[in-house]
């Protein structure tokens, strides 16, 4: 799976400021309590105190340290400076003069506030296990998994890795979950069923479409022949015996997603897939579309009966109207007869 799945917005917001924080964000991430101020005021010089405070509040907000700690929106700098005896922000450029001081402050913040490096095996393993579980159960889009990972890392005080590192990890986990799914699904049918599944992807002599293409086409009209075709489609799908296989440990969401992909993919692209993936795709297709075919047949029957009932009611109304006309004519004739004077 390609790792270039991030939007431009996600890239621009990852580990850096994409704009000035709003009032709620300033109050939540850039507020300094008494414990913070006690540590900050131990620095020598206003520039060191303000620089230390900016590194502390930045890692709270972004989940990482900036290469240039002073590259913070002006509104955030002013908000932090006011809390440190209203320091003049003009002293801040002096903080960039000594690189060792900035690294020392970063190390101290990590130690005192409990921030962890992602590169350590423990936190990478925890995130990988969590992402694998989510990927196996729900097959989330990679961009959604990326946003979830970022929020999870910030919540657990794990410094954000590079954007390529996190993207590659998500891609690898999704690929591993997909491979597991294909292997498990491909192992369910026996050899006879596998042979029948592969035959779906061949075009018989004299036909213009494969059986696979025919089976994924649902009814489009409401009629007796359409209902018969819908029933025949269901019977053909049921004959594969896929519903009798053990899908107990396969998430139904993954089956539906795979079947949906099969429903729009070409027969040729499926036939070119590796063996496990091809069989897995066809198994999920039969499993899901057998249920869909039964629903389609019932829908056609329901609408067909509704149409027949409506036509019968219409015919009955027409007959009733004709009979009423005859009764009216007879009544008029009787009325005329009654007015005659018989002597």
pLDDT digits (tens, 9 = 90+) for 102-125: 999 999 999 999 999 988 778 999
Domain boundary among 91, 113, 135: 113
pLDDT digits (tens, 9 = 90+) for 3-54: 577 778 888 788 888 888 899 999 999 999 999 999 998 888 889 999 999 9
Please give the residue range of the domain that contains residue 145: 121-186
Query: Is 330 within a domain?
Result: no
Residues 307, 195 share a domain: yes
How many separate domains does the chain show?
Answer: 3
Residues 303, 204 share a domain: yes
Q: Sign (positive/negative) of CA torsion 60, 61, 65, 66?
A: negative
Residues 302, 240 share a domain: yes
Domain boundary among 186, 219, 237: 186
Residues 97, 76 share a domain: yes
Q: Rounded to a whole number, what is the largest CA-CA distance in the chain?
A: 138
Query: Is 333 within a domain?
Result: no
Residues 147, 251 share a domain: no
Residues 301, 212 share a domain: yes
Tell me whether residue 141 is exposed, middle or buried, using C-beta atoms within 10 angstroms of its C-beta: 0 to 12, 13 to 18, 19 or more.
Answer: exposed
pLDDT digits (tens, 9 = 90+) for 289-311: 999 999 999 998 998 888 888 87
Q: How does residue 126 score in pLDDT terms, banded at 50, 70 and 90?
A: very high
Distance CA 131, CA 176 (A): 11
Tell me whether residue 288 is exposed, middle or buried, using C-beta atoms within 10 angstroms of its C-beta: 0 to 12, 13 to 18, 19 or more.
Answer: buried
Q: What percent of the chain has pLDDT over 70?
A: 93
Tell me whether residue 238 is exposed, middle or buried, using C-beta atoms within 10 angstroms of its C-beta: 0 to 12, 13 to 18, 19 or more.
Answer: middle
pLDDT digits (tens, 9 = 90+) for 236-252: 999 999 999 999 889 99
Residues 34, 88 share a domain: yes
Query: Is 40 within a domain?
Result: yes
Residues 107, 42 share a domain: yes
Residues 93, 51 share a domain: yes
């Amino acid at each position: 799976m390609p790792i270039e799945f991030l939007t431009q917005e996600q890239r621009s917001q990852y580990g850096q400021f994409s704009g000035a924080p709003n009032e709620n964000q300033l109050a939540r991430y850039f507020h300094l309590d008494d414990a913070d101020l006690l540590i900050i005021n131990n620095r020598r010089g206003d520039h060191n105190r303000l620089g230390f405070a900016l590194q502390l509040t930045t890692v709270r907000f972004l989940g990482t340290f900036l290469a240039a700690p002073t590259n913070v929106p002006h509104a955030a700098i002013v908000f932090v400076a006011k809390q440190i005896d209203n320091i003049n922000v003009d002293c801040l450029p002096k903080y960039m003069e000594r690189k060792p001081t900035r690294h020392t402050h970063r190390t101290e913040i990590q130690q005192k506030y409990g921030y962890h490096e992602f590169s350590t095996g423990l936190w990478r393993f925890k995130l990988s296990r969590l992402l694998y579980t989510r990927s196996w159960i729900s097959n989330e889009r990679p961009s959604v998994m990326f946003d979830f990972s970022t929020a999870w890392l910030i919540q657990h005080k794990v410094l954000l890795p590079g954007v390529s590192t996190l993207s590659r990890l998500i891609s690898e986990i999704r690929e591993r979950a997909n491979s597991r799914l294909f292997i498990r699904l491909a192992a369910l049918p026996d050899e006879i069923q596998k042979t029948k599944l592969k035959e779906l992807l061949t075009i018989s002599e004299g036909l213009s479409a494969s059986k696979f293409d025919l089976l994924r086409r649902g009814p489009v009209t409401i009629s007796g022949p359409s209902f018969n075709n819908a029933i025949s489609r269901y019977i053909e799908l049921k004959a594969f015996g896929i519903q009798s296989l053990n899908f107990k440990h396969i998430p139904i969401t993954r089956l539906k997603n795979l079947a949906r992909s099969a429903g729009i993919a070409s027969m040729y692209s499926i036939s070119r897939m590796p063996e496990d993936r091809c069989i897995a795709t066809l198994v999920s297709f039969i499993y899901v579309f057998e249920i869909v075919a039964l629903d389609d047949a019932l829908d056609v029957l329901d609408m067909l009966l509704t149409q027949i009932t409506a036509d019968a009611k219409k015919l009955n109304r027409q007959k009733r109207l004709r009979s009423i006309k005859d009764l009216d004519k007879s009544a008029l004739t009787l009325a005329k007869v009654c007015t005659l004077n018989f002597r």
